């Protein structure tokens, strides 16, 4: 074993290679569009891509410290194979702390392509010392974001002709403010304020609105003696495999096929998104009882939007929860903060070497009982005012193979089980196997476990994913998922089964040129519409997606991307189709960066809508559905006035050829065109 003190030649090599490679790694933020293509292989409505994207973007601002990162944090990147994770841990144990991120070149299995992919997500730091408040003031990783955007056309909700119940009460335009200062492994403090278009900024005690419609804040301290994590304010929970306590960190099925199947046991994390659901508000603490044994506890008291109805005896019940976060007119304001959710729990976690195991207890209580409107598919849906869960999880790593699992039960009702194994069979071949079984009366509102449904219930399945790398230029990945739904589902009023598979070929002939070809098929049962039949009939619907994409440079400062997507949907003997063809261009001109797109699309129905990631201002996410027939274009300009101030301006335009109005209800716009403008400034105000 080579000692650090005697490796003078290695140090000289490191310094020399750092200088040689420095110009190859991106100096700007990593290209999130490229990462989105890799991690979000097929975009649909089953995942909250806004929060997933923010998670990726926040990693850029809160880079993982390679010298202290746990295997769970490294896996959370979803960019490393299990063999690469274990190689890095072994290298760190044998040689001590890394001197530079470029020392990754000396870690077995870390080729230039891998390093280039993760370089913007990682850093090398020492141990934090001194007064935490002084470090907060001196920390360069801080920012204040001010964002404003609006649609130039007038929506019906802003017109005087609308009724009092549907007319928007506030001014047009979205307003968003966020501040955060943080240092990975040390502290994080911040707040988020947001007003959607049509909402009011007001001070009203009767409705308990004080300023912006949505307000979020958090304060976090990490690794202060036996207190490993303390958060006051808004936070998310990510324990086990997310079967009971899951945050917005589940990437689902995608072209990575292997790494994203497993959830990372990260514990408590600050909540910084403007999404008004899916988080907790209160206090969370992780404390080290003895070496390797940790106890985590949390309490949350959060208002929830809901539709509340009263019966003849004036008893109120929640018929459904509202998740849009919109409070623009009387109809939407009537459900604002209609019930309160008390959420508390405890996790006992043992972590030592290859073993990571724990016990979870969680309880949710609603101030207004839940009683959903009866439908054929929701006979086993949760009803009442209290939900209690108990569960266990076990993760175990052996060499380059990791086993992960979690089992939980809704006390008095059903259970859920998720388990899998992934690893590197050879340095070039990675595989993942996963099984799951979620009963129809298992209810876990804050889960993000691996599943076909948007929530893990009424489902069983078997998944196999793999990835093979012939060389640095060629790789092939794919998966097959077989699933079954033992009970009725929304829009599928019969027990059913289905399948999904994906195949993706990647080719990177040079550092600046990448391309991929991707094919995906999904088959699910759906109801058949027949006005002349009183019985519910179903039929299997098969959706196929095809995609070809190539990124290439025009010159040293100009890059382009060309993509073509096609789809078909076959059901009950009929086939419909859709397509989009687009071209992106990006010019990096020093302090100024300009990005644009021109796309044409043509879809025969909504089942063939085309989702394509669009570049946006920092920490904002855009992935509209291209549907019907028309043209979509946008232009985004980014200019850095200094290290303290960066400004973005984004203009988007959509023109349809086969419709005379856009949207529906109060959001409807008269005409064939829609234009959006977004302006954002990022300011570093500390240090």
What phi and psi, each to the nearest 5 degrees, are found at residue 198?
Answer: 95, -15
- Residue 241: exposed, middle, or buried by beta-carbon count in 10 A (0-12, 13-18, 19+)? buried
Residue 668 CA to residue 155 CA, distance in Å, equals: 5
Instruction: Using the predicted structure, report yes or no on whether residue 8 has a pLDDT greater than 50.
Output: no
- pLDDT at position 131 is 67
Pairing of strands 673-683, 645-656: antiparallel
Split at pLDDT 50, 70, 90, the class of 594 is very high
In a domain, 308, yes or no: no
In a domain, 247, yes or no: no
Residue 322 CA to residue 148 CA, distance in Å, equals: 25
Instruction: Using the predicted structure, report yes or no on whether residue 390 has a pLDDT greater than 80.
Output: yes
- pLDDT at position 375 is 85
Split at pLDDT 50, 70, 90, the class of 624 is confident
In a domain, 97, yes or no: yes
28 three-class SS: coil
**Strand ranges, E, within 399-473:** 401-410, 415-426, 429-438, 459-469
Distances (CA, A) of 44 to 251, 254, 545, 609, 625: 12, 11, 12, 9, 9
In a domain, 299, yes or no: no
Closest CA to 364 of 406, 308, 302: 302
Structure tokens at 164: 């009092």
Number of domains in the chain: 1
- CATH number for the domain that contains residue 128: 1.10.150.320
- pLDDT at position 132 is 67
- CB-hemisphere CA count at 13 Å for 355? 8
Instruction: Using the predicted structure, report yes or no on whether residue 33 has a pLDDT greater than 60.
Output: no
Model confidence pLDDT, tens digit, residues 123-133: 887 655 556 66
Note the helical H segments in 553-652: none
In a domain, 439, yes or no: no
Instruction: Using the predicted structure, report yes or no on whether residue 340 has a pLDDT greater than 60.
Output: yes
Sign of CA dihedral 55, 57, 58, 62: positive
Pairing of strands 122-123, 64-65: parallel
Asked whether the beta carbons of 306 and 88 are under 8 A apart, the reply is no
Instruction: Write out the H or E segment, with its range, that includes residue 32.
Output: helix 32-39
139 three-class SS: coil
Asked whether the beta carbons of 578 and 608 are under 8 A apart, the reply is yes
Q: What is the dihedral of CA 82, 87, 89, 91, to 10 degrees?
A: -170
What would the DSSP string read from start to end of 159-204?
STTS-TTTS--S-SSEEEEEEEEEETTTEEEEEEEEE-TT---EEE
Model confidence pLDDT, tens digit, residues 178-214: 999 888 788 999 999 999 999 999 888 777 788 899 9
- Residue scoring higher pLDDT (121 or 267): 267
In a domain, 32, yes or no: yes
Asked whether the beta carbons of 231 and 213 are under 8 A apart, the reply is no
Percent of the chain with pLDDT over 70: 87
Percent of the chain with pLDDT over 90: 57
Rounded mean pLDDT of the chain? Answer: 86
- Residue 638: exposed, middle, or buried by beta-carbon count in 10 A (0-12, 13-18, 19+)? buried
What phi and psi, each to the nearest 5 degrees, are found at residue 314?
Answer: 60, 30
Q: What is the dihedral of CA 62, 66, 72, 75, to 10 degrees?
A: 90
What phi and psi, each to the nearest 5 degrees, are found at residue 14?
Answer: -65, -45
Provide mean pLDDT across the span 604-615. Answer: 90
Instruction: Write out the H or E segment, with its range, that includes residue 133.
Output: helix 132-138
Instruction: Using the predicted structure, report yes or no on whether residue 12 has a pLDDT greater than 80.
Output: no
Model confidence pLDDT, tens digit, residues 430-452: 999 999 999 999 999 999 899 99
Provide mean pLDDT across the span 479-505. Answer: 94
Show the domain range for 136. 14-43+63-140
Instruction: Using the predicted structure, report yes or no on whether residue 32 has a pLDDT greater than 80.
Output: no
Distances (CA, A) of 686 to 5, 144, 279, 639: 38, 10, 28, 20
Provide mean pLDDT across the span 534-560. Answer: 90
Provide mean pLDDT across the span 87-115. Answer: 86
Model confidence pLDDT, tens digit, residues 207-264: 778 889 999 999 999 999 999 999 999 999 999 999 999 876 666 777 678 888 898 8
Distances (CA, A) of 529 to 523, 540, 571: 18, 13, 11
CB atoms within 10 A of CB 612: 24
Query: Is the pTM for the entire model greater than 0.85?
Result: yes
In a domain, 123, yes or no: yes
Asked whether the beta carbons of 327 and 337 are under 8 A apart, the reply is no
In a domain, 670, yes or no: no
């Amino acid at each position: 074993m080579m000692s650090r003190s005697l490796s003078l030649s290695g140090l000289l090599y490191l310094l020399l290679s750092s200088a040689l490679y420095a110009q190859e790694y991106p100096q700007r933020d990593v290209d999130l569009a490229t990462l989105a293509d890799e991690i979000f292989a097929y975009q649909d409505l089953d995942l909250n891509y806004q929060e997933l994207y923010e998670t990726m973007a926040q990693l850029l601002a809160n880079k993982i410290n390679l010298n202290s990162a746990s295997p769970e944090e490294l896996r959370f990147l979803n960019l490393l194979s299990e063999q690469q994770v274990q190689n890095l841990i072994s290298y760190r144990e044998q040689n001590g702390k890394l001197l530079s991120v470029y020392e990754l070149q000396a870690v077995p299995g870390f080729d230039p392509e891998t390093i280039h992919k993760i370089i913007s997500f990682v850093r090398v730091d020492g141990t934090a010392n001194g007064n935490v408040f002084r470090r907060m003031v001196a920390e360069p990783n801080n920012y204040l974001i001010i964002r404003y955007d609006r649609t130039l056309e007038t929506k019906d909700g802003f017109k005087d002709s609308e009724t009092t119940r549907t007319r928007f009460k506030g001014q047009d335009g979205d307003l968003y403010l966020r501040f955060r200062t943080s240092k990975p492994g040390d502290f994080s403090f911040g707040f988020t304020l947001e007003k959607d278009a049509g909402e009011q900024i007001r001070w009203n005690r009767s409705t308990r609105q004080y300023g912006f419609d949505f307000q979020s804040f958090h304060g976090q301290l990490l690794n202060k003696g036996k207190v490993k994590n303390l958060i006051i304010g808004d936070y998310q929970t990510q324990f086990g495999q997310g079967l009971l306590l899951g945050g917005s960190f589940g990437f689902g099925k995608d072209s990575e096929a292997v790494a994203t199947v497993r959830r990372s046991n990260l514990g408590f994390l600050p909540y910084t998104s403007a999404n008004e659901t899916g988080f907790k508000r209160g206090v969370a603490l992780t404390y080290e009882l003895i070496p390797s044994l940790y106890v985590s506890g949390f309490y949350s008291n959060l208002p929830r939007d809901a539709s509340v109805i009263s019966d003849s005896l004036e008893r109120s019940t929640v018929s459904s929860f509202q998740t849009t976060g919109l409070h623009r007119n009387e109809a939407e304001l009537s459900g604002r903060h209609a019930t309160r959710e008390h959420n508390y729990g405890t996790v006992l976690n043992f972590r030592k070497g290859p073993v990571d195991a724990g016990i979870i207890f969680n309880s949710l209580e609603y101030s207004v009982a839940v009683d959903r409107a009866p439908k054929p598919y929701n006979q086993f849906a949760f009803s009442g005012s209290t939900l209690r869960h108990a569960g266990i999880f076990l993760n175990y790593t052996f060499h380059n193979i990791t086993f992960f699992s979690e089992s939980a039960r809704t006390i008095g009702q059903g259970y859920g089980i998720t388990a899998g194994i992934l690893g590197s069979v050879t340095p070039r071949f990675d595989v993942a196997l996963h099984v799951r079984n979620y009963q129809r009366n298992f209810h876990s509102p804050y889960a993000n476990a691996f599943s076909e449904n948007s929530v893990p219930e009424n489902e069983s399945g078997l998944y196999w994913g793999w990835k093979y790398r012939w060389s640095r230029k060629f790789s092939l990945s794919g998966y097959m998922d077989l699933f079954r739904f033992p009970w009725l589902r929304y829009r599928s009023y019969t027990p059913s089964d289905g399948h999904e598979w994906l195949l993706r070929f990647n080719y990177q002939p040079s550092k600046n040129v990448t391309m991929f070809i991707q094919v995906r098929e999904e088959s699910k049962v759906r109801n058949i519409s027949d006005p002349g039949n009183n019985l519910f009939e179903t039929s299997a619907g098969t959706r196929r997606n095809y995609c070809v994409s190539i990124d290439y440079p025009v010159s040293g400062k100009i890059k382009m991307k060309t993509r073509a997507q096609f789809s078909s949907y076959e059901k009950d003997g009929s086939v419909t189709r859709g397509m989009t063809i687009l071209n992106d261009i990006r010019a990096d001109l020093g302090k100024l960066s300009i990005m644009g797109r021109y796309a044409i699309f043509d879809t025969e129905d909504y089942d063939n809508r085309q989702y394509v990631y669009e570049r946006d201002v920092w920490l904002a996410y855009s992935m509209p559905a291209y549907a019907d027939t028309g043209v979509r274009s946008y232009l985004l300009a980014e200019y850095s006035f200094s290290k303290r101030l960066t400004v973005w301006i984004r203009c988007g335009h959509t023109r349809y050829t086969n419709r005379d109005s856009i949207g529906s209800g109060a959001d409807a716009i008269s005409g064939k065109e829609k234009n959006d403008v977004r302006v954002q400034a990022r300011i570093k105000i500390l240090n």
